[in-house]
Amino acid sequence: MIMSRSPMANPTPSDEPRRLNDPPKTIVEHLDDLRTCLLHSIVAIALGAVAALPFQELWLRLLVHPVRASVEHLTFLSPTEPFLIQLKLSLVAGFIVVLPYVAHQIWRFVSPALYDHEKHWVNRLWGASVGLFVAGLLFAYFVMIPLSLRFFMQFRSDFLVDQITLKNYIGFASFWLIASGLVFQTPLVLIFLMKTGIVPRDTLARNRRVMIVIIAIIAAVFSPPDIFTMFLMGVPLYLLFEASLWFAAGITQQDKEEHAGPPTPASSSSSA
């Protein structure tokens, strides 16, 4: 019985030889490369945090900006709480600044073990991954955090008075930012599954109802247990799913054109 691969699937590693630019390394040499990668990354993060530390008040103002329309003020329960939070924000800001360098160090360590077609796809999707993550952060910052806070603050009354602490709000906003950034990576995961043939595109397109249920489950996991925030998370997820199908169709067409190549003289003369 002959099993056919999906037309979107890449060749297996046995079909495509690996291009080795360096001779094989021993386990000790790999561990030494890993140590160098981690050391350079840790030093870069530390330097980035030190560089971001003078702007710690700016990072705090940026993060609390979405709450100003719904909450008059934030409180803190410990004298050291504002300082420690600004210190943590500086560390995160420094990590974001040096993230390209850290990613480059990780890529230098991982890339020798990849096949040529795998390197091609990593390079092809790297920019899209960063762009989608930033889009997720912006969506959470300008849409999800303000709308969810406005919704929850409607339950205030003369008896129920909000006393939101700075620590609780930072945790709330950080959760939304990270969750939204990760959720916006969904198109890349789906394109990978379709490209490798694990889940054909036609199967996903025919089972949209199943995908809606899966999206609802993901939205429930990544959001607080209420319908409003699930809706805020679920709608972008479904739009990203439809965009994944569209991009996968475009990539398939592009790959077919690349494999077909220009018409040969014989075929051109015969068609004439």
Place of tokens 């015969």: 270
**C-alpha Rg value of the chain to the nearest Å:** 24
pLDDT digits (tens, 9 = 90+) for 56-85: 888 888 888 888 878 888 888 888 988 899
Q: Are the CB atoms for 45 and 95 separated by under 8 Å?
A: yes
pLDDT band at 43 (very low <50, low <70, confident <90, very high): very high
Separation of alpha carbons 202 and 183, rounded Å: 23
Separation of alpha carbons 81 and 88, rounded Å: 11
pLDDT digits (tens, 9 = 90+) for 30-39: 788 889 999 9
Residue type, 134: V
pLDDT band at 223 (very low <50, low <70, confident <90, very high): low
Output the average pLDDT for the chain: 79
Separation of alpha carbons 110 and 105, rounded Å: 9
Which residue has better confidence, 92 or 122?
A: 92
pLDDT digits (tens, 9 = 90+) for 166-180: 999 998 888 888 888
| Top-confidence range, 37-51, 85-99, 212-226 | 37-51
Q: For the chain, give the number of residues.
A: 272
- What pLDDT does residue 264 have? 53
Which two three-digit tokens encode residue 236?
């972008």
pLDDT digits (tens, 9 = 90+) for 139-149: 989 988 888 88
Average pLDDT over every residue of 247-268 = 62
Average pLDDT over every residue of 245-269 = 63
Separation of alpha carbons 231 and 229, rounded Å: 5
Handedness of CA 72, 78, 80, 81 (dihedral sign): negative
Q: Are the CB atoms for 228 and 148 separated by under 8 Å?
A: yes
| Angular region, 261: left φ>0, alpha ψ -120 to 50, beta rest | left
Separation of alpha carbons 188 and 103, rounded Å: 17
pLDDT digits (tens, 9 = 90+) for 16-34: 444 445 567 778 887 888 8
pTM score of the predicted model: 0.70
